Amino acid sequence: MATQIKFGTSGWRAVMAEEFTFANVQRVVHGIARYVSSHQSNRARVEVIIGRDPRFLGETFCAMGADIVASYGITPLVIAEPAPTPAISYAVIQSKADGAINFTASHHSPEYNGIKFSTPDGAPALPEVTQAIESEITAYTDAIPPTPQAPKGEVQSPSQSIDPRRMYLSRLREIVDLDVIKKAGIKIAFDPMWGAARGYSDAFLREAGVTVATVHDTRDVLFGGHAPEPDDHLLEDLRRKMREIDAAIGIATDGDADRFGIVDGDGTFLQPNYAIALLFDYLVETRGWKNGVGKSVATTHLINALAEKHQIELHETPVGFKYIGELMKQDKILIGGEESAGLSIRKHVPEKDGMLAGLLCCEMVARRGISLGKQLAKLFADVGSFYPLRENFSLTPEVKAKFTEKLRRDPSEFHGTKVAEVVRTDGLKLVLADGSWVCYRLSGTEPVVRVYSEARSREDLAKLSAAAKAWIFV
């Protein structure tokens, strides 16, 4: 029986040689090609971009994908080298393509691979699109049971090549104030984590005369033996390089460069929640934009406080950047972000861009002339302090069934505090009378509950976190 293919918040991902097999990849690409064919544009020629991150067999999957889409009369525009997801997104918009197939597992560990599909607007496919693709995969599987084919190793179809790097970096030059960074004379360290951003962020800065030092600047399909995730515990090499050159800031990106990691000059990791809030405040100050701010339901209320301070409309979305992308396409927001290190800004791609986030943080440090830690302290002084936390808890089948039922209720009290608001935008979020909150989201792919909590002091956060865990298992 064929594996059921399900798209999550950002595409389909699976372990290679288990579910991510040649046969299943063929099924998914056939499903996408069938979907694109049934939603053809009015142009004489339908085109789909095909790209990848640096993972194992990426070239082979691109060749296979190009052959399959070509069999539907679709012209594949193949990116020869690993390319960042935001660069692929921008290429879709600029080339007016009918979408993009991106072979990437993003920040997941090296045994995974995946497929993301971008729609013609460069945005991550919305649920109605991925559901339609899933239906097409099923229809294809039922009609012609797929059998593994020997990979050709090179593109045999009538494809064209496309290089998104130049057009994307040109766009960054329009957004990021390189003169400010150069004049400040700050030094920057960059860690692409062996991923798709190699030769992007550092080259962009270096061409402008900024001093940049890079670590992990080679292709490694094993990503150093761990997930290519720019999180605190995986950035020691970046910190070491920062100390070597006396860098004012360290910036990092994940495997496909849609997520970011930021390290302050003293080696302190800056939570993505705080980076988004700081950049929101900075863009209002320097660009004068006032058209709104978007955040997921699980992202810090520091952004809520800043929206109130700047008198800017706040939009709170379900988890998944595609929802923020929709607000961007409508130009309803100047910046949108998620606590999981996803961010983009207006008039750019409606997709997470980890490179842009890092470069804007460099500009912010250069212009303001003070560290990120001091900038955050100033924000806290202006609008109050906020301490967010994300935790995952594994559930037995019995506990999951009981807790799922519990999530359907609307409690009036939590942690000895009155519940001021129950939010069901995504999962269950309880906003308490003292301004703290907790949000529960059950994973759709594993027996795990994700718990997001935030309090106004570290001490209160520790108590809230303990209560949030206890509420699951009581």
Q: Tens of pLDDT along the chain (474 residues)?
A: 678 899 987 799 999 999 999 999 999 999 999 999 998 766 778 999 999 999 999 999 999 999 999 999 999 999 999 999 999 999 999 999 999 999 999 999 999 999 999 999 999 999 999 999 999 999 998 886 544 444 444 444 567 899 999 999 999 999 999 999 999 999 999 999 999 999 999 999 999 999 999 999 999 999 999 999 999 999 999 999 999 999 999 999 999 999 999 999 999 999 999 999 999 999 999 999 999 999 999 999 999 999 999 999 999 999 999 999 999 999 999 999 999 999 999 999 999 999 999 999 999 999 999 999 999 999 999 999 999 999 999 999 999 999 999 999 999 999 899 999 999 999 999 999 999 999 999 987 789 999 999 999 999 999 999 999 999 998
In this structure, are strands 269-270 and 260-264 parallel, antiparallel, or unpaired? antiparallel
Report angle CA 29, 31, 34 to the nearest 5 degrees: 110
Distance CA 96, CA 43 (A): 10
Q: Among residues 413, 417, 414, 468, which one has the least CA distance to residue 441?
A: 468
pLDDT, tens digit, 9 for 90 and up, residues 55-91? 999 999 999 999 999 999 999 999 999 999 999 999 9
Q: What are phi and psi of 341, to 5 degrees?
A: 75, 40
pLDDT at res. 186: 98
pLDDT at res. 173: 97
pLDDT at res. 144: 67
What's the predicted TM-score (pTM) here? 0.94
What are the structure tokens assigned to 118, written together? Answer: 């971008």
Rounded to whole angstroms, what are the CA distances from 232 to 4, 271, 272, 306? 35, 9, 11, 25
Interhelix angle 272-287/372-383, rounded to 10 degrees, is: 80
pLDDT, tens digit, 9 for 90 and up, residues 189-246? 999 999 999 999 999 999 999 999 999 999 999 999 999 999 999 999 999 999 999 9
> How crowded is residue 4: how many other Cβ atoms within 10 Å of its Cβ?
10
Residues 6+ apart with CB under 8 A from 170: none
DSSP annotation of 16: B
pLDDT at res. 369: 98
CB 62 within 8 A of CB 78: yes
Number of helical H runs and strand E runs in the chain: 15, 21
Identify the structural domains of the chain with CATH numbers, from first to last: 12-163 (3.40.120.10), 167-383 (3.40.120.10), 387-473 (3.30.310.50)
Q: Which residue(s) pair with 47 in the sheet?
A: 75
Interhelix angle 372-383/354-368, rounded to 10 degrees, is: 80
Distance CA 347, CA 265 (A): 30
- Provide the residue type at 209 as one letter: G
In this structure, are strands 47-52 and 100-103 parallel, antiparallel, or unpaired? parallel
DSSP annotation of 225: G
Q: Among residues 472, 412, 409, which one has the least CA distance to residue 442?
A: 472
Q: Where are the beta strands (DSSP E) in 163-322?
A: 187-191, 211-214, 249-253, 260-264, 269-270, 293-296, 314-317
Report angle CA 264, 265, 266 to the nearest 5 degrees: 90
Q: Where are the beta strands (DSSP E) in 38-97?
A: 47-52, 75-78
Distance CA 173, CA 195 (A): 22
3-state secondary structure of 129: helix
- Provide the residue type at 321 as one letter: F
